[in-house]
Amino acid sequence: MIRLVLIYTLLFSTLVSSTGCDKEALAAPETIAEKEYYVSSELIASVPKSMLQSLAKTEGFGAYVNEVKYGVSVYKLQYFTTYQNKEIKASGLVVVPQNMTTPAPVVSAQHGTIFSQRDAPSNFTSLTGFELFAANGYIMLMPDYIGFGASKDIFHPYYDQKHSALAVVDMIKAARKFYKEKNVLANDQLFLVGYSEGGYVTLAAQKEIETNPLHGLKVTASAAGAGGYDLTAMLAGITSGATYTYPAYLAYVLQAYNYTNSWHRPLLEYFQEPYASRMPQLFDGNHSGSAINRQLTTDPEELFAPAFFAALKEANEELTLKQALQANSFQDWVPKSPTRLYHGTSDNIVPYSNSKITYDRFISQGAKYTELIPIKGGTHSNSFVPMLQSLVPWMKAF
């Protein structure tokens, strides 16, 4: 649903002008930008303009039928990225307008948390709305993330800054070869957009691009919504004794850190029974978040093993985990590109205070082009559309 709303909302707004790429970075010899990232592409669907116009009507966007200017081609893209310092294949979805004669801006859209393999963007089986996005003249990139699609045998490195960033950045670079191969015209504008986990991944990718000029990329603007940017603050909220309405997220983070960092700790060290024994099956890629939640508890004190939960409350215990959470928070970087943080003020899954803390830190450390946009009364589930309704005019200004 989030993917549908994202495309529909952004579809009918034209991004104008362009910003120049970092020519020195592009020209630097033996840069990582010159590495071959592209593996292959597979045409999944070719959708004519007339079908897209019909879709716009049936989905309640009849007023925008005239904005559907192009048919689109939908591709699954495979590319090389890095996991645990080893090269692996990853995948994502690319949607491009057909027969467009002017260079198009590129939007890398980072999806929210998914648990099921079938929800990976590249598992495209029917019209989803991505076609409409490209039909107005955009190039759309959406990485599956490591752990989905071509890399489905890996446990998703959830809220891991390095792997989140590289999954996006390496797909953007791989797409350059794809554009040449398919004669797709792209201009120098690069927008990063994401919500929930996608908000976190968006900032991770932005940080990677801005702090590593060897990528040869430049962010035009970035918009991140409702991400858990300060993981230590999130931990403090979880140990406060309050219920947590989406326990699948908590179980996801702990298991991801256990796998990604090769800690190899038994799940019984983290979780009580019967939950510890359920985790491997619940997180096998065949269950949705809601299905997982039904098999867990909203009381963290009941979910986590007693010794582990007690240690989380102590300053000098579980230091390895706490240091990892701190390292994956955005505490040592300030955005350079125009950046907006959106967050619903009534979000009970990722509290609004998390974005406020992150924003205040950015400003105190010298951020000049960063804004915090509160969505008054917004929850985690209903703040996405207001975010994009505000975001589109802002993007047009570029």
In this structure, the answer to whether residues 357 and 301 fall within a common structural domain is no
Query: pTM of this prediction?
Result: 0.89
Place of tokens 């582990």: 308
Token readout for 283 is: 């997180």
Q: Which three-class secondary structure state does DSSP give residue 225?
A: strand
Are residues 355 and 239 in contact, defined by beta-carbon separation less than 8 angstroms? no
Burial degree of 30 (CB within 10 A; 0-12, 13-18, 19+): exposed
As a whole number of angstroms, the distance between CA 49 and CA 45 comes to 13
Per the CB < 8 A criterion, the answer to whether 195 and 387 are in contact is yes
User: Where in the sequence is the domain holding 263, given as residue range(s)?
Assistant: 240-326
Q: Alpha carbon 337 to chain centroid distance? A: 18
What's the domain count of the chain?
Answer: 2
Question: Which one of 268, 294, 326 terminates a domain?
Answer: 326
Whole-angstrom Cα distance, residue 103 to residue 59?
Answer: 28
**In this predicted structure, what is the pLDDT of residue 116?**
96
32 vs 203, residue with greater confidence = 203
More confident residue, 12 or 34: 34
- If asked whether residues 197 and 298 sit together in one domain, one would say no
Q: Average pLDDT, stretch 166-177?
A: 98
- The tens digit of pLDDT for each residue in 116-162 reads 999 999 998 666 655 776 788 889 999 999 999 999 999 999 999 99
Has residue 61 been placed in a domain?
yes
CATH of the domain at 307: 1.10.260.160
H helices present in the chain, as ranges: 2-11, 23-27, 49-58, 130-135, 161-182, 197-211, 231-238, 247-260, 275-282, 289-294, 300-303, 306-312, 319-327, 352-364, 384-396
How confident is the prediction for the chain on average, in pLDDT? 89
pLDDT of residue 33: 58
Residue type, 196: S
User: What CATH number is attached to the domain comprising 98?
Assistant: 3.40.50.1820
Residue 316 and residue 335 share a domain: no
Task: HSE, CB side, 13 Å, CA atoms: give it for residue 198.
Answer: 26
| Number of C-beta neighbours around residue 308 at 10 A | 18
pLDDT in tens, 202-220: 999 999 999 999 999 999 9
Amino acid present at 247: P
The Cα–Cα gap between 111 and 241 comes to 30
What mean pLDDT is predicted for residues 158-173?
A: 98
